[in-house]
Amino acid sequence: MTTRPYDNSARREAAAATRHRIIVATTELLAAEGYAGLGVMAVARAADVSQQTIYNSIGGKSALLKACYDVTLAGDEDEVPMSQRPEFSALREAGSADEWVERYAAWSRLLSERVHPILGPLVGLGVARDAGAAEFLTTIEQERRVGSTHAMTAFHKSFGLPDGLSLEQAIDICWTLNSPELYARLVGQCGWTPEEYQSWLAGELRASFLATP
């Protein structure tokens, strides 16, 4: 008697569809109600699932926020690291340091535009008053640091750095310049256009990494 292998593809597809509904509901709640209106019960109602399903599929409030952020940042739900996506790969194809700076500024603007609706209200939130927001912001700061490290390590390998500037300092500068706080302040509060932000960022990166001391 031949035993057929168990096919659980239908179960995986159903779980993925449920997760998608939860993330969509979370995104819509954030847009409509802000972080204060986000909660497992509210998401469960909007996604038409039980609260336990949300905990099993994603987790609590901070996990919901992170899942929503990850999908929004990437632009899709594919589990492909940002460092392996075409926009980052294009940095490796830059023919000059100046071209690299322009591509990186455009990419940073794209990512900032995507996640600003989520991060804009949070970066001004007193994180000490909200453990969930603090946990989320700490996590994405660590992830941004990793991303900045990948970017500047590649830049250093291809084009070098000005005399007197260490790779660690270059990572510090990149990590600071691409911070959501700066985008929120310049675009969200000061009224800059995303195009103006991109131009400013390219200028700051150029001054930091291309200028000769």
Which residue type does 162 have? P
Distance from C-alpha of 60 to C-alpha of 8, rounded to nearest angstrom: 26
Distance from C-alpha of 113 to C-alpha of 188, rounded to nearest angstrom: 10
Please write the tens of the pLDDT for every residue from 103-146.
999 999 999 998 888 887 776 655 446 777 888 888 889 999 99
Together in a domain, 49 and 107: no
Which residue type does 155 have? F
Question: Would you say 75 and 133 are in contact if contact means Cβ atoms under 8 Å apart?
Answer: no
Full domain range(s) for residue 48? 7-79
The token pair at 50 is 């039980």
Last residue of some domain: 40, 63, 79?
A: 79
The token pair at 212 is 């000769």
In a domain, 191, yes or no: yes
In a domain, 159, yes or no: yes
Which residue type does 8 have? N
Percent of the chain surpassing pLDDT 70: 89
pTM of the predicted protein model: 0.80
- The total number of structural domains that make up the chain: 2
Distance from C-alpha of 205 to C-alpha of 114, rounded to nearest angstrom: 21
Please write the tens of the pLDDT for every residue from 166-204.
999 999 999 999 998 899 999 988 999 999 999 999 999
Last residue of some domain: 33, 53, 79?
A: 79
Q: CATH number for the domain including 58?
A: 1.10.10.60
pLDDT band at 87 (very low <50, low <70, confident <90, very high): confident
Together in a domain, 119 and 177: yes
The token pair at 166 is 């260490």
Dihedral sign, Cα of residue 194, residue 195, residue 197, residue 201: positive
